[in-house]
Structure 1
Amino acid sequence: MTKAIDLQALAAQVAAGLTGPGGPFEMTMEEVLGAQIPVFHNRRRSLLELLEASRALGDRDYLVSADRHMTFAEHYEAAGALAAALQQRYGIGKGDRIGILAANRPEWVLTFWAAQRLGAIPVGYNAWWAPLEIDYGLEHTEPVVVIADAKRAQALADAGARVPVITMEQDLPALVAEYAGEYPVTTVAEDDPACILYTSGTTGRPKGVVHSHRNMVAVADYHRFTDALMAGFRGLPWDGSPTSRRFLTTSPLFHIASLHNLAVPRLNTGDAVIFPSGGFDADKILGLIESERITNWGAVPTMASRLLDADLTKYDLSSLSGFSLNAAPSSPALQQRLRERLPVAQVALTTSYGCTESGTAATIAAPADLLANPEAVGRPIIAVAVEIRDPEGNVVPDGVEGEICIRSPYVMLGYWNDEAATAASIDANRWLRTGDFGFVSAGVLQMAGRRSDLILRGGENVYPTEIENALDAHPLVQESAIIGVPHEDLGQEVAAIVVVADPDSVTEDELRDHVAQRLAYFKVPARWLITADALPRNATGKVLRRDLSLGE
């Protein structure tokens, strides 16, 4: 116990030196959108400034895939050329949306940075969306153009999308070659929109989360601060010089884990982003860690669990020095299995809590925190304030469960074209109501539940209402309820309880196909109960989800 307290005190001492007056990460209070928010005093004011500074990183690897290594210098040139093409061919300017619909690949990141040159807003659509979901996204954010990989470009064509589509495999390289040597520049303000990513909403419709230049630059600065903190913690000097780490990205770029917290900050730190090819395969990932000398990996618990099914002794994993579990809660048993089998997990295993709206992790559990309490999700990171509130909005004492509320320079501007949802989520003092529940004890946050009916399937958030709406559109379905049931590999899987007049009148396969035509594959229920019994409801008519089961 004494050792843990001493380590915490040392970390606080190092942080104070970094963030105090005259420190490289000096913090100050400024008015941001009508509220006093802590911000980094010495900061860049837009993502375009980050891009311009990255030119000096030269021949260091930035984006690495199976078929190419793109250096920072090559990326800088290509981003300028693509921006010029988008401006001159498609008339894209400040505030216009550029859709991105693709699996992870270097061109995804390149498109993001090209948009920043124009002051345009890249929109990261979920690459696994079904056609009806894609149609909704296009209608909602109205992109001038969509840049897509071949598979999604074909899906757009099949769906009859009327927006121009640029393919990443053929059209994009040709445009970059044609407009080489051009670097459009525009002026943006810190609180101008910089990006839109979609998150499922409890109303059943995905919401477009808008992050500003301030938000995303602050996230990048947070990662630099973490580097400086770790150097100071070890008694080493830190001057902001680029490092030579290699970050493996296995979460989609349309999530904050890979975009905000991996690809973007590397322009600040000079590290490489490594893209695996194809779907997740444990042996392929282990081989990539060995061959590319991966130093850092943030995995969802499902991936980490699958990793343990492989023979780890066949691979040289000595380069791996940073390892975190992200996107979904991890069980104490999984954490312990990782420590027993994966050397890096013995000394560097971390986890965190955050959401798309928070921009980055709000709290991080260091290795010592997890050893002391495997269910902890950590302490607030720099510039983040966390409060636990009751239904009336009052702050509750330590140890008392309530809604997790967050305020920081990383928190989103709001939801795209949805003032009502924004007002419901962010108050006048810029506090974000997460809809998640937990409690704080001795400064450490622990989750008590995530949005009461949210299902976490292999790192993907699945909201029941969206699936219920799709099921209820079936002519034989009277009502339906979606619940999450435990699954050894995925954490949870989706289960459906469907009420019909005659259970023999419809089959599971028919209902499964009905949902699959409307929603992404991970939202399609894997388990079913078809019944004539009405769903249990409370006095106000709401379904009592806690009383639901498959009756097995």
Structure 2
Amino acid sequence: MGGRAESSGDPSSVIAALVGVGGPFELVEESVLGVVMPVMRDRRRAVAELLEASVRWGERDYLVTADRRISFAEHANSVAALSVALRDEFGVGKGDRVAIYAANTPEWVIAFWATQVLGAITVCMNGWWVAREAAFGIEHSRPAVVIADAERAAVLADAGTGVRVLTMAEDLPAIFARNTGVRLPHTEIDEDDPAAIVYASGTSGRPKGALHSQRNILAVADYHRFNDAALAAFTGQPYDPVAPSPLRYLLTSPLFHIASLHNLVVPRLVTGSAVVMYQGKFGVAPVLRLIERERVTNWGAVPAMAARLTEYGDFDDYDLSSLNAFALASAPSSIPFKERLRERVPFARAALVDSYGLTECSTAVAVATPAELEQFPGTLGRPIIGVSLEIRDPEGNPVPDGDEGEVCVRSPYVMLGYWDDQAATDASITPERWLRTGDFGILENGMLRLVGRRSDLILRGGENVYPTEIEQCLDEHPDVLECVVIGTPHEDLGEEVSAVVVVRPGSAVTAEQLRDHVSERLSYFKVPSRWRFTEELLPRNATGKLIRRGITV
């Protein structure tokens, strides 16, 4: 079919052996929410089953930080202690929400698994939210309890939400101590029950909560298991699905993102791999020291981090020989940037991988291998296993190969919908379970290339920023008559947030004053870094809608 690619049609004999009849990752056609699509025959039905099975890895490292080392056994014991407390002391049960509001820490991971054991829904609150944003997240998701670090617990107190809070520094250690040795609770959970709410910025100015199912998260874990098996087969290495993996993965992105949670923390519990968690503000030297000390083998970084690497010249000071897989994720990057990265960063030369994905899809939609990036600059690769991808015209019809259109995706990875927002769900997911991404691209020889993103979306260093939210915030300032927020190119971040402000006559407001105004209300990454002031009204069409195209800072 024109404009359509099926990942399961890969002619490679290796892939065929893995996904074909009798293969360890055999694909079969089954109904998912009323629509038939390819899924793996042998799969688990509840995320909690992964935790129960992980105890077999025993004293192997699961979570490692600069100063802590937590084994699979210790992790499972802590999860059991916290889940029992949530159930018995806070009344948390199946379908209830438990929010996590914290920086990256092992307790974040423990809280996630404790929620899953109870069949509750993990609410992944953005750790960079300020009080007003956090208050919205609480009001929107209505959690029974929030598990927070000290800094975010103070933010919640300032926001006056009234929600019950468990602190990671004081409450959780006490729970672990008094519930030592308790057994993991068991809850009957269905495959398409909800598991997590992950917030993505919304075009209406409010974040939207992508509701992921048990199936979504489990399918992502199986996708990564398949990748491990395929890599072993391609390189002639042995692969034993019941043996722990020797790979060690560096985690540098926030845990409230799918890149770290769905695609790292969860699958590595399944494979018995270590997750080496970097904490604090990103710095090249401490990251390289951690890679050297922990013999990290795999790292997925956002382009903003990779840009910092290109400016660093002391790679020879570290033994980085263990690192043999390096991927870009979460934000687009240019062809010249990738070339500069391969030129200046030793471990990126032969290992660089790029991908296209979004929160609503739980994982990557398409992945480009090092060879594909070299042969087809600008490509984002082929759809991953289990993904059906079509390029469609405005009427929803597939277009021929080589024609531009909207990227539409159907797979077991696609979210259930948006939490408490049926209108947004209906606008994004068709009755046939096709997700309309809002991104525009072209399929050529089965590979995806993007030609444009969601019309207004700004991608700043891996964070999705929608202008409407910032514009609404600026509109609250008495000296602002009207404004428009746009993304402008930035070498390190991909894009930076820029604002054009029409000030009221006679106003002497400064960029610093407006920057402070926004900083008090929104996360730092949403604060415009470039400003242009004018007294000329912004261009609008006949219906009064703002014409963004052509506006510059």
Normalized against structure 1, the TM-score is what?
0.96
**Which residue identity lines up with residue 262 of structure 1 in the other structure?**
L
Map of 1:270 onto structure 2: 272
CA contact (8 A) 1:247 1:273 kept: yes
**Which residue identity lines up with residue 264 of structure 2 in the other structure?**
L
C-alpha displacement at 1:176, in angstroms? 1.4
CA contact (8 A) 1:98 1:120 kept: yes
| Unaligned runs of at least 5 residues, structure 2 | 1-7
Map of 1:5 onto structure 2: none
Map of 2:416 onto structure 1: 413
CA distance in 2, matches of 1:177, 1:429: 49
**Per-residue deviation, residues 109-129 of structure 1 (Å, max 9, x unmatched):** 100000011111110100001
**Which residue identity lines up with residue 110 of structure 2 in the other structure?**
L
CA distance in 2, matches of 1:533, 1:193: 49
Map of 1:257 onto structure 2: 259
CA contact (8 A) 2:66 2:290 kept: no
Map of 1:345 onto structure 2: 348
CA contact (8 A) 2:98 2:144 kept: yes
Q: Tell me if 1:476 matches 2:479.
A: yes
Choose the corresponding residue for 1:521, options 519, 524, 534: 524
Map of 1:322 onto structure 2: 325
Q: How does 1:327-476 map to 2 (within 5 A)?
A: 327-476=330-479
CA distance in 2, matches of 1:516, 1:531: 22
Please identify, of 533-542 and 45-54, the stretch whose mean Cα deviation from structure 2 is larger. 533-542
Please identify, of 461-470 and 157-166, the stretch whose mean Cα deviation from structure 2 is larger. 157-166
C-alpha displacement at 1:476, in angstroms? 2.5
**Which residue identity lines up with residue 296 of structure 1 in the other structure?**
N
Map of 1:206 onto structure 2: 207
CA contact (8 A) 1:321 1:344 kept: yes
**Which residue identity lines up with residue 14 of structure 1 in the other structure?**
V
Cα RMSD over matched residues?
A: 1.4
**Which residue identity lines up with residue 433 of structure 1 in the other structure?**
R
Q: State percent identity of aligned pairs.
A: 60
Q: Tell me if 1:508 matches 2:494.
A: no
**Per-residue deviation, residues 333-381 of structure 1 (Å, max 9, x unmatched):** 2222222233332222101001000110000001111001221111000
Q: How does 1:41-440 map to 2 (within 5 A)?
A: 41-182=41-182, 183-240=184-241, 241-310=243-312, 311-440=314-443
CA contact (8 A) 1:248 1:297 kept: yes
CA contact (8 A) 2:479 2:507 kept: no
Q: With a CA cutoff of 8 Å and minimum separation of 6, indicate the structure with the bigger relative contact order.
A: 2
CA distance in 2, matches of 1:308, 1:173: 41
CA distance in 2, matches of 1:28, 1:154: 49
**Which residue identity lines up with residue 206 of structure 1 in the other structure?**
P
C-alpha displacement at 1:11, in angstroms? 7.1
C-alpha displacement at 1:459, in angstroms? 1.1
CA contact (8 A) 1:350 1:370 kept: yes
CA distance in 2, matches of 1:391, 1:220: 34
C-alpha displacement at 1:297, in angstroms? 0.4
User: Runs (4+) of structure 1 moved beyond 6 Å?
Assistant: 8-11
**Which residue identity lines up with residue 333 of structure 1 in the other structure?**
P
Structure-2 change in CA distance of 1:533 and 1:326 (3 Å): same
CA contact (8 A) 1:10 1:233 kept: no
CA distance in 1, matches of 2:128, 2:252: 15
CA contact (8 A) 2:83 2:114 kept: yes
CA distance in 1, matches of 2:80, 2:14: 39
CA contact (8 A) 1:11 1:229 kept: no
C-alpha displacement at 1:161, in angstroms? 2.6
CA distance in 2, matches of 1:495, 1:99: 32
Please identify, of 97-106 and 473-482, the stretch whose mean Cα deviation from structure 2 is larger. 473-482
**What's the secondary structure of 2:126's corresponding residue?**
coil
C-alpha displacement at 1:503, in angstroms? 5.9
**What's the secondary structure of 2:354's corresponding residue?**
strand
Normalized against structure 2, the TM-score is what?
0.96
C-alpha displacement at 1:540, in angstroms? 2.9
**Per-residue deviation, residues 116-171 of structure 1 (Å, max 9, x unmatched):** 11111110100001111000000000111110111111111222231111111121
CA contact (8 A) 1:34 1:428 kept: no
**What's the secondary structure of 1:264's corresponding residue?**
helix
CA distance in 2, matches of 1:377, 1:237: 29
C-alpha displacement at 1:10, in angstroms? 9.0
CA distance in 2, matches of 1:367, 1:523: 33
CA contact (8 A) 1:503 1:530 kept: no
C-alpha displacement at 1:541, in angstroms? 2.3
CA distance in 2, matches of 1:346, 1:495: 33
CA distance in 2, matches of 1:292, 1:231: 22
**What's the secondary structure of 1:546's corresponding residue?**
coil
Q: How does 1:23-38 map to 2 (within 5 A)?
A: 23-38=23-38
**Per-residue deviation, residues 457-510 of structure 1 (Å, max 9, x unmatched):** 111111111101111122232211001112222121111111122263322122
Please identify, of 299-308 and 234-243, the stretch whose mean Cα deviation from structure 2 is larger. 234-243
CA distance in 2, matches of 1:237, 1:540: 64
CA distance in 2, matches of 1:497, 1:336: 33
